[in-house]
Amino acid sequence: MEAAVSTAAGTRMLVYQDREALSVATAERFAAISRERIRSRGRFAIAFSSGSTPRRFYSLLASGSFRDKVEWAKTQVFWADERCVPPDHDESNYKTVRDILLSAFPLSEGQVHRIRGEADPQDAAQLYEKELRSFFGAGRMPVFDVVILGAGRDGHTASLFPGSAALRERTRLAVPVYLDAPQLNRVTLTLPVLNHAAHVLVLASGEAKADVVRVIFEEGNAKQYPAGLVRPVSGALEWFLDRDAASQVRSGALKRS
Ligand code: 6PG
């Protein structure tokens, strides 16, 4: 690791040389959290994201020495968001995670809680909310053991985009997000759910993310980027960055660790 900074209570920014190092570190952290949560709670409930950045991290978890580091039999898999496409579509977040990671383990159907991307977005959000309430218990916020997120160059995270009404949602767990063509409609977990997680790991790599990272960490998220609105109420937030994504954070700030 090149630098570690504690930026606020419960928040850490970890900077690695490149995406490979970031992916290895994220896999190690994920495995450690899984051990700790399975020891204390008997199960491990995850929400995955898609995008290009976590792909290597997912493939690491499925291979080599990481294969045995997560007790998949005690794991329950959810998604932070989904594109409104069928589950065998190349843009499906379910398919991405299944193909790279889940297919390597004998998970039962009951352990995989996908968002129904093939349904009408409103119906898919409602079905997913029902599934979340039935798993985590009605009348309370779900507490994911870990949520994996990314950050777009426009500051979005999961499918929470800048300026979206979805950002103001306080009671629903999942909502539809209608985007202009050619982007696909989506379904996303809402901020209250993300912010009740025990651990949130945000992965960002590449120079295109540098300005978003700078605004969030150096300007108090003055632009209200959705990725910067993820601040767990009592859980831990860790940003895993490569050197390029952290390149606009003042070196003085990086040396604070
Ligand atoms: C998705 C994600 C999305 C992603 C960011 C970052 O399904 O695409 O949930 O929020 O994490 O767009 O994506 P990259 O890693 O490709 O930059």
How many other C-beta atoms are found inside a 10 Å radius of the C-beta of residue 140?
A: 9
Q: Give me ligand 1 centre to Cα 40, in Å.
A: 31
Q: Report the pLDDT value the prediction gives residue 183, as an integer from 0 to 100.
A: 76
The residues, ordered by sequence, that sit 6+ positions from 256 with a Cβ below 8 Å of its Cβ are: 5, 6
Beta strand 186-189 with 199-204 is: unpaired
Q: Report the pLDDT value the prediction gives residue 246, as an integer from 0 to 100.
A: 97
Q: Report the pLDDT value the prediction gives residue 254, as an integer from 0 to 100.
A: 66
Tokens of 218: 């150096």
Of 222, 209, 176, the residue nearest 84 (C-alpha): 176
Give the residue, by CA position, lying nearest to ligand 1 atom 3.
158
Between CA 67 and CA 101 the distance in angstroms is: 10
Q: Report the pLDDT value the prediction gives residue 10, as an integer from 0 to 100.
A: 67
* Nearest ligand 1 atom to alpha carbon 186: 7
Query: Do residues 215 and 221 touch, judged by C-beta distance below 8 A?
Result: yes
Q: Report the pLDDT value the prediction gives residue 216, as an integer from 0 to 100.
A: 95
Q: Which of 49, 91, 96 to mutate to test the pocket of ligand 1 (most atoms within 8 A of CB)?
A: 49
* Nearest ligand 1 atom to alpha carbon 80: 9
Query: Which residues are paired to 242 by β-bridges?
Result: 16
Q: Give me ligand 1 centre to Cα 93, in Å.
A: 10
Q: Give me ligand 1 centre to Cα 56, in Å.
A: 14
Name every protein residue with a CB atom under 6 angstroms from any ligand 1 atom: 49-53, 80-81, 93, 150-152, 156-158
Q: Report the pLDDT value the prediction gives residue 252, as an integer from 0 to 100.
A: 61
Q: Give me ligand 1 centre to Cα 141, in Å.
A: 24
What is the full per-residue pLDDT of the chain (257 aa) written as tens digits? 778 877 766 689 999 999 999 999 999 999 999 999 999 999 999 999 999 999 999 999 999 989 999 999 999 999 999 999 999 999 999 999 999 999 999 999 999 999 999 999 999 999 999 999 999 999 999 999 999 999 999 999 999 999 999 999 999 999 999 988 767 899 999 999 999 999 999 999 999 999 999 999 999 999 999 999 999 999 999 999 999 999 999 866 665 44
Residue 11 has phi, psi (to 5 degrees) of -115, 135
Q: Report the pLDDT value the prediction gives residue 257, as an integer from 0 to 100.
A: 42
Q: Give me ligand 1 centre to Cα 183, in Å.
A: 13
Between CA 43 and CA 236 the distance in angstroms is: 18
Q: Report the pLDDT value the prediction gives residue 253, as an integer from 0 to 100.
A: 65
3-state secondary structure the chain: CCEEEEEECCEEEEEECCHHHHHHHHHHHHHHHHHHHHHHHCCEEEEECCCCCCHHHHHHHCCHHHCCCCCHHHEEEEECEEECCCCCCCCCHHHHHHHHCHHHCCCCHHHECCCCCCCCHHHHHHHHHHHHHHHHCCCCCCCCCEEEEECCCCCCECCECCCCHHHHCCCCCEEEECCCCCCCCEEEECHHHHCCCCEEEEEECCHHHHHHHHHHHHCCCCCCCHHHHCCCCCCEEEEEEECCCCCCCCHHHHCCC
How many other C-beta atoms are found inside a 10 Å radius of the C-beta of residue 32?
A: 13
